[in-house]
Structure 1
């Protein structure tokens, strides 16, 4: 087929990071799928268009809204052609798409023009009509879904007739469940079609099934433009991620205390009651060797948890633990989370055993008691953190005061430059009703009212939702002027409604044509000019797509936002503002921590997961960029109220020093020429052995470095003695002196290395050295098998606070990702690897990428034997391999190798 884009040439100049991504894409354009991750402001649409042009086949582009559909067409007209004729009416498209981002689709709108690029002989035709596609057809997901649902065959026939060979899914994180089926069926109807997926925020936190579907369609990310690159180029502003901690209010804490006390009483009664005796007499415990296969096949994790409970009650568990090659000290301590897992087994797979031992009603009554407590949801038992506790902390009213404190602080130090956006999940307008006496819930209306109470002249507050706007009465004249200036003069009195709030006559509830969406533009302009300096809105309305470069503070007051929504919210304040060349933004995250909880509670756990994708500077010497919550320097839980106050005080101190934030970014990102990128690393606890202590790490020979020098030095005697074999004495002496010199240099270098090695040992400890050896074995196997191109690369282990970071230096990002994934498979929780290494009874998973074939696994075995120690290969898909696999799973499931995936700039 003739290339329909043969005449299309990009008329602009690629930014450095765009050029890099396009260069990387050249290796993927012939593949079935190309997946690009790029934040807002990075020119993602242009990168997608260039991919389409380079593929040289008719393309169908799918966007989530009509506004984004038009953006694709506008970008092509602007950068790949200009003018044209042959417009095609698209009333059908507008009707099929329904509504755009903020309202009904415009009727009678036309698009799809033929563009003449360069000369009369070169023409690129555009369309938005699915039944009459052209070289570049752009439509919405909803339009495709409607067309496919109503008439799949005509649609498929039209797309095939047009030769559609490229399918672009823009903002792929938007895809709804119903749309997936449509996309899969459309792709299947187009043989040989290639998929280009573009997104700012992959949906990392969706359920596993949904993530699997996303990755199956889009593929793994092939190229990424990162936020630090945009900050370095001056296309996003330097910014600070700040976490404000709070603790539950007294009434909330009292409710939590009641549950925890009841859970503790339940746990104590369970450990002293008949179930503990039945557990000790369970066949797996009483006769473990006879049931070793059942343990291995059906529940090694439950078995080890049960041993932990029995050990806690003073019973000897050495004999049953030995079935999985575990010592009693290998068994984790009993915690509520471990007891919850035991109870899940008692109520589920092991129920018949306990019913037989204690009577047919015992298990049912146990389950009823847990359900009454609120600790059982479906098949899950959550004694350590029931849904009620999670909800209480996520929606804690303490966050209302946290938002007020943050806004007051920002108003005090930013003064008239303040442009703050506070985003919540819901409106909760009932808080404005007369006689409302309940504790206000976290929402737009209660937050607006609370912020109106602040004694902060710089914080003029307004609220904006899809239903209404709320403004102080003195702002109404400015809003009217803005509406008139924007052309909304006709019958303004009928269209604009402003009613005093029942509980505050100085606050007006404002609508335009009965809704609030028409006020988005005017209110945004008031915000930009500073007539409103704090804008409270919903995540749905202002969290994505809304744009105001003047915004410099975000308070994310959402408890339900997904990872995608959180990333989009951050993007609202990262835009640069030409009027503020020194703009520095602050993004405030809220967390209500649970005093005494080992991990701080579910809010902090959620933040920890989300920060895995947020990169920013760590205040170190020198400063460095990395992802992860640890870069903020928060104390480790559990927390006391004093810890919270001190932590917030340090956060405010950092947030007031905007110049320091700017310098940290400047010093950390470096220059474009240095080639630094976000590269993967693994972070493991420093005090925990990432490799079983029973595995003896092979000591490095003292001659392993500088072998040439050592060989020359060792040959010096032979060279000296050669004179007696007929070589001239002068030549023999010269050889001797030169060889001795090389050996001496090698000795000096070896001493220097030994000193450095000792300092490295002191810095990272024995666990760090063991981790380094395992990393070198993994790297060697990956290099030998050609799975990474990492010539000259080096495994580096570095201490970071209470953890160890291990990364691959001197390799490209793709090789670093493969290495990090393989090392995580080796030292992390064992899933279901095909092969294990038997290291004298301690079992190590062979990484998935090296376990697909026996030859690859044998290469890993050889690398392990050389760099770590002796081992043998175990195939887990046989009866003989079941027990070793169970032992590996049982040991790894308890956090002996806890791993956090981070990325560091380097």
Structure 2
């Protein structure tokens, strides 16, 4: 069946390893491989299909990927010296699900359209075929002998597509090959289990760092460019902050709220509510802070006189009064105007006001009237402080987030980056700019002086087009000289736009495209800019994408702007050496797919390096923004070389050198641009990556489930000696092995830097690594409310929370205790356990409630 079909190149070592062990890995009928973008999964899948020797169906997420599979097969498995064989396979490698060939490659959507009997919307489904419904398709495919199914990036499936694919695979009972660059690591446990139940456990993984070391991906570095919002945008941020302040005051000046809190029995007779206070220490702290705030601001106004205010204050228990007075005095010290503190400060309510509202509505609703709760709910809802009926613990930053996300100063940042990259790379620059939106309507601003007030593909294009001096890039006009007078000014056009609904190319390139593809293409000039938009039918769009990609790779276009949706995945242009991610996505899958566009090597050109740029807007008026959190999350999904070239790790901290901080925006950006110019430095840094990544065997780089911590490593744990840390880590792995949570071959590794000890596991799948990382993080985390706590020592006790993975059943928790060799186990849902939990939480070594809450408990019980 596959006579004459053979891979015409040399397999990479991981590909050869998989192929040599393929039959063993197929023991459960499934082969599941996770490898970085650019690692050669398509070649691996095609060779596995060839070796199995059966007719095959390949399912992919996009038409672009569907076409790539056929191109890879014809280009890498069929000799150019055998035109007859090429013609045979061009016919027998089908991309039409209703007319299958020896190999058929189609989209998940095409399969679903037959499953749902909605054949209309898919270009890959022909109008005629040998079956008319889903059952008929399965019967027909079985009759044809299709017995291998290959899934490419199956995690992309929309929820409604899962049923179609699951039913299809169950009825076909075929061999399954599952390939992915980005397993859905940051999804819910339910989605992960669904994914694994479909594809099987991952048989082999290879990470981006390893692929760089093995020279299968190019050396690269990530850079972060900070964007200061415009004056107008800063005013919008200020307005949002003022709106939040108004929301805050609306709550604080609610007389009914004050009247009900001042009469709370727990404030008047706290001795009668010992258990309540033990269970709710932070709630009591919130009440005390509220009472102190009201006493220092509006209590006299609410009561009508100082005498009545004092009378209300004297209703409370003496210990409560003492705590309120202490907090009151702190407030007075903060707000008094002195020589050392000449500005009257506004009292900060962020730590307790919204948490108090949550206490009232969710934790202690029976203590308050329905009228008050209704009024509070309305206030919170009107100010976007309720989400799915739950109180948000911080004031809404929705408006601020929108301003920062869409800040037009990111357009200037793109210009600054491309100026720098152009100066370094010259004619070799191949820059890809990925955006979330197109903003096609902004094309009306081309060749005008109108401000560019939106962020999208068209505005990036126009901002670059307007730039007069970008090194060897686009110049609005060439400089006027005797040889080039103003009457004959010449444009230098090197920018292209490629999206599903908007294509812009230099006029010369468009003429070449029309010449290459013939009729069916129309061009419309964009004024006198030297650029035109392209109009064509959808039937030739795939050919247009292929041609434009070729022009880009050959340098007829040096900057290509597009959407992450079209070019962020599956699109293949190995020549990309500068990537600017204007998209705001921060998920593991999307981030690594976008970065993958810049990581591919160029055959025959081992000198390629890539710079990957991320954009983040920062305002001096606000610190804890969603923009920053998303960037933290994004870098949590990226494993790369540290800026000093000494470590491979994840997390945003690897960009810092200790001398430059993001607080100095201008200095930070200058440093980033300077570092980006030295591509040879990080090429050498990758070459000097520690030997742990040099093994000829594929190792799995530990990438923990997305958190704000760095890498798969855990720093020294407060309160636990190095020996006890080791005991917890090794015991956790032992327990996981005994319960079948990880394979027996997983091995604990320890890394020591100075006085810090770090743990990870080797010879593990990425999912196993993540699971271990998650468990060990919980065991080393502050004790808050675990179901079980392990204790060590007799006189100087140490405590370790039992991870939730071992807390579902008591016998499992006991097994965990045995493996960790703990002295005792405390169950915290008993009365004695609750007291012990609070005692641990209050101790200085383990304290994770506020100092104020701890003081309140000690004084009231």
TM-score (normalised: structure 2): 0.72
Deviation, 1:522, is: 4.3
Tell me if 1:806 matches 2:783: no
**Equivalent in the alignment of 2:653:** 630
Deviation, 1:17, is: 2.1
Separation in 1, partners of 2:365, 2:410: 42
Separation in 2, partners of 1:487, 1:853: 66
Tell me the secondary structure at the aligned position of residue 680 of structure 1: coil
Tell me if 1:775 matches 2:729: yes
Tell me if 1:139 matches 2:112: no
Separation in 2, partners of 1:812, 1:295: 46
Question: 1:176-218 CA deviation, whole Å, 9 max, x = no partner?
Answer: 233123223334445x666543222234456776566545544
**Which deviates further from its counterpart, 644-653 or 24-33?**
24-33
Question: 1:353-409 CA deviation, whole Å, 9 max, x = no partner?
Answer: 42x2xxx43233323333443444442544344322221111112211111111111
**Equivalent in the alignment of 2:231:** 250
**Equivalent in the alignment of 1:174:** 156
**Which deviates further from its counterpart, 651-660 or 261-270?**
261-270
Tell me if 1:431 matches 2:442: yes
Tell me if 1:408 matches 2:419: yes
Separation in 2, partners of 1:337, 1:215: 41
Separation in 1, partners of 2:847, 2:178: 35
Tell me the secondary structure at the aligned position of residue 584 of structure 2: coil
**Which deviates further from its counterpart, 385-394 or 51-60?**
51-60
Separation in 2, partners of 1:539, 1:654: 26
Separation in 1, partners of 2:386, 2:285: 21
User: Which of 853, 862, 871 does residue 818 from structure 2 map onto?
Assistant: 862
User: Which of 616, 628, 636 does residue 591 from structure 1 map onto?
Assistant: 616
**Equivalent in the alignment of 1:445:** 458
Separation in 1, partners of 2:185, 2:454: 28
Separation in 2, partners of 1:169, 1:428: 34
Q: Is the Cα contact below 8 Å between 1:843 and 1:887 reproduced in 2?
A: no
Tell me the secondary structure at the aligned position of residue 529 of structure 2: strand
**Equivalent in the alignment of 1:605:** 629
Tell me the secondary structure at the aligned position of residue 508 of structure 2: helix
**Equivalent in the alignment of 1:458:** 472
Cα 1:478–1:164 shift into 2, 3 Å? closer
Question: 1:824-873 CA deviation, whole Å, 9 max, x = no partner?
Answer: 2323488997754356998643235555665653343234446xxx3225
Separation in 2, partners of 1:469, 1:813: 42
Q: Is the Cα contact below 8 Å between 1:596 and 1:639 reproduced in 2?
A: no
Tell me if 1:38 matches 2:24: no
Q: Is the Cα contact below 8 Å between 2:746 and 2:764 reproduced in 1?
A: no
Separation in 1, partners of 2:427, 2:317: 68
Deviation, 1:608, is: 1.8
Q: Is the Cα contact below 8 Å between 2:737 and 2:744 reproduced in 1?
A: yes
**Equivalent in the alignment of 1:737:** none
**Equivalent in the alignment of 2:302:** none
**Equivalent in the alignment of 1:824:** 777
Gaps of 5+ in 2: 118-132, 293-315, 321-346, 475-493, 851-861
Deviation, 1:524, is: 3.5
Separation in 1, partners of 2:590, 2:746: 40
Separation in 2, partners of 1:467, 1:843: 59
Separation in 2, partners of 1:367, 1:634: 46
Separation in 2, partners of 1:72, 1:339: 57
User: Which of 521, 524, 540 does residue 498 from structure 1 map onto?
Assistant: 524
Deviation, 1:649, is: 1.6
Tell me if 1:666 matches 2:687: yes
Cα 1:216–1:582 shift into 2, 3 Å? same
Question: 1:63-100 CA deviation, whole Å, 9 max, x = no partner?
Answer: 234554455466667878999999999xxxxxxxxxxx
**Which deviates further from its counterpart, 537-546 or 548-557?**
537-546
Q: Is the Cα contact below 8 Å between 1:375 and 1:386 reproduced in 2?
A: no
Cα 1:835–1:579 shift into 2, 3 Å? same
Deviation, 1:586, is: 0.6
> Matches of residues 188-587 of structure 1 in structure 2 within 5 Å?
188-190=170-172, 195-204=176-185, 213-218=194-199, 221-264=202-245, 266-267=247-248, 270=251, 275=257, 278=260, 303=280, 305-313=282-290, 336=350, 339-348=353-362, 350-351=364-365, 353-354=367-368, 356=369, 360-382=370-392, 383-433=394-444, 439-454=452-467, 455-460=469-474, 461-464=494-497, 465-471=499-505, 475-484=506-515, 486-488=516-518, 490=519, 495-501=521-527, 505-513=528-536, 517=541, 519-560=544-585, 563-578=588-603, 580-587=605-612
Cα 1:215–1:284 shift into 2, 3 Å? farther
Separation in 2, partners of 1:30, 1:887: 52
Q: Is the Cα contact below 8 Å between 2:97 and 2:111 reproduced in 1?
A: yes
Deviation, 1:141, is: 1.4
Deviation, 1:660, is: 0.7
Tell me if 1:679 matches 2:701: yes
> Matches of residues 647-726 of structure 1 in structure 2 within 5 Å?
647-668=668-689, 672-673=694-695, 675=697, 677-680=699-702
Q: Is the Cα contact below 8 Å between 1:311 and 1:317 reproduced in 2?
A: no
Q: Is the Cα contact below 8 Å between 2:92 and 2:102 reproduced in 1?
A: no
Q: Is the Cα contact below 8 Å between 1:112 and 1:128 reproduced in 2?
A: no
Cα 1:527–1:66 shift into 2, 3 Å? closer
Tell me the secondary structure at the aligned position of residue 260 of structure 1: helix
Q: Is the Cα contact below 8 Å between 2:39 and 2:211 reproduced in 1?
A: yes
Q: Is the Cα contact below 8 Å between 2:702 and 2:761 reproduced in 1?
A: no
> Matches of residues 724-803 of structure 1 in structure 2 within 5 Å?
771-772=725-726, 774-779=728-733, 781-782=735-736, 789=744, 793-798=748-753
Q: Is the Cα contact below 8 Å between 2:588 and 2:637 reproduced in 1?
A: no
**Equivalent in the alignment of 1:62:** 59
Separation in 2, partners of 1:636, 1:337: 31
Separation in 2, partners of 1:318, 1:547: 73
Tell me the secondary structure at the aligned position of residue 433 of structure 1: helix
Cα 1:167–1:790 shift into 2, 3 Å? closer
**Equivalent in the alignment of 1:837:** 790
Deviation, 1:256, is: 1.9
Q: Is the Cα contact below 8 Å between 2:78 and 2:85 reproduced in 1?
A: no
Cα 1:537–1:790 shift into 2, 3 Å? closer
Cα 1:353–1:60 shift into 2, 3 Å? farther
User: Which of 592, 599, 614 does residue 638 from structure 2 map onto?
Assistant: 614
Cα 1:213–1:477 shift into 2, 3 Å? same
Tell me the secondary structure at the aligned position of residue 506 of structure 1: coil
Q: Is the Cα contact below 8 Å between 2:780 and 2:800 reproduced in 1?
A: yes
Cα 1:183–1:649 shift into 2, 3 Å? same
Question: 1:20-58 CA deviation, whole Å, 9 max, x = no partner?
Answer: 455676664223755322233222123334555777887
Q: Is the Cα contact below 8 Å between 1:497 and 1:514 reproduced in 2?
A: no
**Which deviates further from its counterpart, 180-189 or 66-75?**
66-75
- Give the count of matched residue pairs: 744
Separation in 2, partners of 1:812, 1:857: 24
Question: 1:798-825 CA deviation, whole Å, 9 max, x = no partner?
Answer: 469xxx6622377656775554233123
**Which deviates further from its counterpart, 235-244 or 432-441?**
432-441
**Structure of higher RCO (CA pairs closer than 8 Å, 6+ residues apart):** 2
Q: Is the Cα contact below 8 Å between 2:586 and 2:630 reproduced in 1?
A: no
Q: Is the Cα contact below 8 Å between 1:236 and 1:575 reproduced in 2?
A: yes
Separation in 1, partners of 2:837, 2:291: 28
Separation in 2, partners of 1:462, 1:402: 17
Q: Is the Cα contact below 8 Å between 2:789 and 2:801 reproduced in 1?
A: yes
Gaps of 5+ in 1: 90-108, 114-126, 321-332, 698-765, 897-906
